[in-house]
Amino acid sequence: MTETLVIKDLHVSVEGKPILNGVNLTINRGETHALMGPNGSGKSTLGNAIMGHPSYEVTGGTIEINGEDVLDMDASERARAGIFMAFQRPMAIPGVKLADFLRHAATNVRNPDRKEGEDLIPMREFRKELKEKMGQLKMDTEFARRYVNDGFSGGEMKRAEILQLAMLRPKFAILDETDSGLDVDAVKLASQSIAAIAQETEGGTEMGILIITHHDKLLEQNTPDFTHVMLGGRLVETGGEELARELYTNGYDRIRADHPVEARVEAEMQDEEPAAV
Ligand SMILES: Nc1ncnc2c1ncn2[C@@H]1O[C@H](COP(=O)(O)OP(=O)(O)O)[C@@H](O)[C@H]1O
Ligand SMILES: [Mg+2]
């Protein structure tokens, strides 16, 4: 049976302000979905809500993984269920080395029933795997000794997110602007790596991927089966690869013209935006 992540009529508020106004999205394992849309339309909010970020309050609708209620799970249970998100702006964890972080995360995700304090993946086995993955991503192994995202450049943060993806091999991955801050060569490598990781994911089946991006490069090796457009907190259009191409070439004017109601919601959301600091 195909494994699925199913989102129905999802409403999400942040600090009491409605951001998502009824999102419907089904991702089957093995499918690649592109999520595009203007800044501030709610793309990251959707990802954060799926992951269970406490600042994002689900006020309506459902999220299910293989028929199980995701909204009932805390963030770590969601990770154990096989959901992963590479963050647009990853958090720094000073004092925690990337390698230690990955060893704990990988252990927990691979042994969903593990209790706190029980054995981690044996060090030798973990080191070998980490070294291999870092090699594939052309990362210096020294990098794993640094504190998680602490003083990382934009590009280093994104590479660390891809390393996490490679080590955790989730069933469903949300990649939130994983191409931002990477130079041309690094995006190319990221695109290839993501495609390779998707093939060798847990259980031998491919990942279901939701790629949030404004550009073409990540999608080059990860051709979207579906492209969705977010505007004013709703998915206003779904198409194929050609829709992604239209958007990264021409932008969103056509989308706004075709969806005036959501365009108005977008304009109102922008008006309420606090002044940039
Ligand atoms: N943690 C947050 N605190 C306050 N406002 C937020 C937060 N996250 C998102 N928002 C607001 O929600 C709206 C959608 O943001 P976001 O989901 O980040 O859009 P996108 O990823 O499409 O650029 C914006 O108006 C943004 O200011
Ligand atoms: Mg975003």
What are the DSSP calls for 20-77, one per residue? Answer: EEEEEEEEETT-EEEEE--TTSSHHHHHHHHHT-TTEEEEEEEEEETTEESTTS-HHH
Residue 56 CB partners (closer than 8 Å, separation 6+):
12, 13, 14, 19, 45, 48, 49
Rounded Cα distance, 180 and 187, in Å? 9
Top pLDDT among 148 and 113 is at: 148
Residue 125 CB partners (closer than 8 Å, separation 6+):
none
Q: What are phi and psi of 110, to 5 degrees?
A: -80, -25
Each residue's pLDDT tens digit, 64-98:
999 999 999 999 999 999 999 999 999 999 999 99
pLDDT at 78: 97
Q: Whose CA is nearest to atom 2 of ligand 1?
A: 14
Q: Which protein residues have their CB within 5 A of the ion that is ligand 2?
A: 43-44, 88
- 139 pocket-lining for ligand 1 (C-beta < 6 Å): no
pLDDT at 230: 98
Residue ranges per structural domain of the chain: 4-91+170-272
Q: Whose CA is nearest to atom 24 of ligand 1?
A: 40
Q: What are phi and psi of 124, to 5 degrees?
A: -60, -45
pLDDT at 171: 95
Identify the DSSP state of 22. E
Rounded Cα distance, 232 and 189, in Å? 33
Domain 4-91+170-272: what homologous superfamily? P-loop containing nucleotide triphosphate hydrolases (3.40.50.300)
Rounded Cα distance, 207 and 222, in Å? 11
Rounded Cα distance, 39 and 7, in Å? 22
Give the β-pairing of 226-231 and 32-36. parallel
Rounded Cα distance, 256 and 263, in Å? 5
Give the number of the atom of ligand 1 that is nearest the alpha carbon of residue 41: 22
1 confidence band (pLDDT: 50, 70, 90): confident
Rounded Cα distance, 172 and 81, in Å? 9
Identify the DSSP state of 170. -
134 confidence band (pLDDT: 50, 70, 90): very high
Pocket test for ligand 1, best of 13, 19, 277 (most atoms within 8 A of CB): 19
- Packing angle, helices 154-168 and 123-136, rounded to 10: 130
pLDDT > 90: percent of the chain: 87
**41 has a pLDDT exceeding 60:** yes
116 confidence band (pLDDT: 50, 70, 90): confident
Q: How far is residue 116 from each of residues 102, 108, 134, 170, measured CA to CA in Å?
A: 16, 9, 27, 21
115 confidence band (pLDDT: 50, 70, 90): confident
Cβ contact 46:57 at 8 Å? no
* Residue written as token pair 């720094």: 92
**274 has a pLDDT exceeding 70:** no
pLDDT at 275: 56
Pocket test for ligand 1, best of 45, 50, 269 (most atoms within 8 A of CB): 45
Rounded Cα distance, 190 and 89, in Å? 17
Each residue's pLDDT tens digit, 204-242:
678 999 999 999 999 999 999 999 999 999 999 999 999
